[in-house]
Amino acid sequence: MQGDTRRPPQAVAAPPDGARSGLLRPLQATLLIVGYAVAVSLAAGSSTTFLLVTSLALVPVAAVAATWGMRAGLVAGVVGAIANFEVGRVLIAEGTLGVPASALLAMAVPLPIVGAIVGWARELPRSRGRSPGELVDRADLETALDIAYRRVRYEEAVIECTRALLTGNDRAEIEEALRQLAEAVECDAVLVARNGTDEAGADVARTVHWVLREPPTPPRRVWPSVRWSDVPHVADRLAAGLPYAFADLDELPEPDRRVFQESPAGIVAALHIPVMCDGRWEGHVTFAHFTSGRTWRPNEVDLLRAVGDLLGTAWSREETMSRLEAVIAERDVSLRVERALAECSYSLLEGETEEPIERALKAVSEATGADTAFLAENAVDPEGAATCRTTQWVGVQPTPGLRGDVPWSEWPNAQEMLRSGMPFEFGCLDDLPPVERSYFSEHPIGFAAELVYPVMVDGSWVGIVGIASEQPRTWTKTDHQILDMVARMLAAWWRRDKARETLEDLVRAKDRFIASVSHELRTPMSVVVGLSAELAHRWDDFTAEEIEEFIDLIARQSREVAHIIEDLLVSARAQETELTVRPEILRLDEQTQRVIDDLPSEYTWKISGMDLEATATLADPLRVRQIVRNLVVNSHRYGGENVYVSVYAEGDEAVLRVSDDGPGVPPERQDEIFEAYRSVNTMPGRTAAIGLGLTVSRQLARLMGGDVVYRRDHLSAFELRLPLATVRISIDATA
């Protein structure tokens, strides 16, 4: 550091006459006493009495001389002591006045002490009334006063900085305190910079405060940032916690000098004070000058280092508060997330809630701060296209662009992401892919940002849950976390709701099954029981033809009961994986013809056409006949007025097709017709069957390596498809 830069002392004013150099007073006292001593010596030869009286008078003379000061009194006392000693020696030598002579000799010893004490006593009160300039050197006094004044100003400025830094984060108040500090230090500007990194990852110092003591000419621009690698010498010293000062740019080594020369701030002399936070170098404060020559005393540097310590304390407090606020904010977010998820769980799991989805969406909207939360499910429009149908909406009402069914084909990118289980989001409309952006430009949605999560049930995408904002925004990790959990809860709720509906349908199906079985069994059993009773009691009353007809009717109705029971047994065994088949090579056309021939006319009168090609297959004949019977009876019960039966080979499959001209099965219910105890019959006045025929037929066909499928073109058709036999079959044309 540079040495003292005190201002040169001003000219000291001349003291008054009474305050001239203290050396004149002892000299005057000495001359006076010497004059008296000479006079005493001359008078000693003429009169002993006069010599004695004059010597005694030297005491008040010394006292009078002492009034000029302590030094004058001391000198006068010494000279008086010498004179008294000489006079006393002369008197003793002459033998006259022995006692007075001895008194003079005795007085010679304390006389200097008396003169000094009297001089000090006289000088003390006078010195108290003098000006400081009469007691000490004026230049030294002014220097001391200047240092004391500067120290007071520094301390006042530092106190103001302390108050501004520690009582708040008001930028204007802090910069006003720094401006007062600049005035106290008499520097042109104060720069406060904090360490950080730039886009390239290099260590830099960024200016956070730039305070000018007064507007300079020309104006000085702020130095926004500087890389520490460009000023390594300054960086090394500050990093070590030491101040760095230079009075002129020529004192700086390269490359530091070049950086300061090229800087926009125009700093040519400065004192850099490091700012340390918990032992870490976090920044610096610079007292800058736009003219060279400014040096700094060590005591000034020590005082100004307190400013760096204050900034370090303030920054440490700021970091601590930031960490505390971050912890509080994180905890607040966690509480909001937990509260929202708890509310959603309670709403979705509570059995008595009439609108669980609405309550859950409201909790999501409040937790994320979104303007709207919504739920939509996938659907199929009348043309068979996949659509998105909004079912619940909480918050700002949707615009016409989102009401009703929206085809997913309008949002292909969103559909692809959601189908794969990924969220779809945009913070503003410009973030949307071109196709979606084009749709929203034609159909305004009223929102600028959306976050949507898919709802997956058993791996299938069934709908979406989302939040929206009227203003552009960035969706946070917390928003994603909340919506992801809510989507999972909704999936579980949908799964549970679907299971409940399935269970209710199953219960209803069981009820229908019991009613249908009762109906199906009651009719043939009534015939069997009734005819058997008639024959048992009135055999002789009937003719042979009537008895034969009754027996044939009893046999047919018994077979009908047997078929029903067989279907029930097959279904039960299939569920327990105990069902077996015994495949063999057979003619599918012959098995079909045999079943139709054995069926009562009540099941065959609708058959308007048959086309049975000779087709061989590998299957269990008993199970094939059971399937054929179920398909023909099903078409008779639920088909149109005309039923067509055909057998043919298609590729490597043998096909039995039973079709009719009825309305067919609705597309949305085609998957239900093969479920056990499920009937899609909606025609009034027609009792549904037990709902096992098609189920058992498909189970048996698949056991034999084939399948039963439903097709709809101009007719409604059920097809039995079995593997085509590889052997050649001879067909008797006359058969």
Between residues 168 and 645, the one the model is more confident about: 645
Give the model's confidence band at 617: pLDDT under 50 very low, under 70 low, under 90 confident, else very high: very high
Between residues 553 and 21, the one the model is more confident about: 553
529: CB partners within 8 A, 6+ apart: none
Express each pLDDT in 416-467 by its tens digit.
999 998 999 998 888 888 888 888 777 766 788 899 999 998 888 989 999 9
Q: Indicate the angle between helix axes 48-66 and 98-108, nearest 10 degrees.
A: 20
- CA dist list (Å): 12 to 9, 16, 142: 8, 12, 10
Query: Which of 114-123, 129-138, 557-566, 619-628 has the weakest average pLDDT?
Result: 129-138
Which residue do the tokens 């305190």 mark? 177
**Alpha-carbon distance 621 to 704, whole Å?**
11
Express each pLDDT in 407-429 by its tens digit.
888 888 988 999 998 999 998 88
Express each pLDDT in 297-336 by its tens digit.
887 888 788 888 888 888 888 888 888 887 777 677 666 6
2 has pLDDT over 60: no
Take residue 529 and report the two structure tokens written for it: 């029981």
| Secondary structure, 3-state, 370-429 | CCEEEEEEEEECCCCCEEEEEEEEEECCCCHHHCCEEEHHHCHHHHHHHHCCCCEEECCH
Beta 269-277 vs 386-395: how paired, if at all?
A: unpaired
Most confident range, picked from 63-67, 524-528, 529-533, 642-646 = 642-646
Q: Measured at the alpha carbon of residue 291, what is the angle toward residues 286 and 297, in degrees to the nearest 5?
A: 55
> Is residue 637 within 8 Å of residue 694, measured between CB atoms?
no
**Alpha-carbon distance 364 to 357, whole Å?**
11
Span 607-632, average pLDDT: 89
Take residue 367 and report the two structure tokens written for it: 């937790």
Total H helices, total E strands in the chain: 20, 19
Q: What is the structure's pLDDT at 18?
A: 41
For residue 519, the surrounding DSSP H or E stretch is helix 477-538
189 has pLDDT over 80: yes
**Alpha-carbon distance 447 to 469, whole Å?**
6
Query: Which of 200-209, 441-450, 506-515, 590-599 has the weakest average pLDDT?
Result: 506-515
Between residues 688 and 700, the one the model is more confident about: 700
728 has pLDDT over 50: no
Span 19-42, average pLDDT: 53
355 has pLDDT over 90: no
Give the model's confidence band at 731: pLDDT under 50 very low, under 70 low, under 90 confident, else very high: very low
pTM exceeds cut of 0.85: no
Q: How far from each other are the two terminal CA atoms of the chain, in whole angstroms? A: 127
Q: Which of 656, 650, 637 is nearest to 593 (CA)?
A: 656
Span 562-567, average pLDDT: 69
Q: What is the structure's pLDDT at 733?
A: 37
Q: What is the structure's pLDDT at 577?
A: 53
Between residues 155 and 8, the one the model is more confident about: 155
- Over its C-alpha atoms, the chain yields an Rg (Å, rounded) of 60
Q: Where do runs of H (alpha helix) occur along 190-297?
A: 232-239, 256-262
Q: What is the structure's pLDDT at 528?
A: 78
> Is residue 54 within 8 Å of residue 40, measured between CB atoms?
yes
Cα 587 to chain center, whole Å?
Answer: 73
Take residue 543 and report the two structure tokens written for it: 């003719």
Express each pLDDT in 227-238 by its tens digit.
999 999 999 999
281 has pLDDT over 90: yes
SS3 state at 673:
coil
Q: What is the structure's pLDDT at 686?
A: 46
Mean pLDDT of the chain: 75
> Is residue 415 within 8 Å of residue 422, measured between CB atoms?
no
6 has pLDDT over 60: no
Take residue 456 and report the two structure tokens written for it: 């997956």
Query: Which of 46-55, 662-671, 686-695 has the weakest average pLDDT?
Result: 46-55
Peptide bond into 218 cis (omega under 30): yes
> Is residue 58 within 8 Å of residue 33, measured between CB atoms?
yes
Q: Phi/psi of residue 586, each to 5°?
A: -145, 170
Most confident range, picked from 85-89, 158-162, 628-632 = 628-632
537 has pLDDT over 60: yes
Between residues 58 and 171, the one the model is more confident about: 171
579 has pLDDT over 70: no
Query: Which of 167-176, 362-371, 672-681 has the weakest average pLDDT?
Result: 672-681
Strand extents, DSSP E, 47-135: none
Q: What is the structure's pLDDT at 400?
A: 54
Q: What is the structure's pLDDT at 195?
A: 93
**Alpha-carbon distance 310 to 160, whole Å?**
11
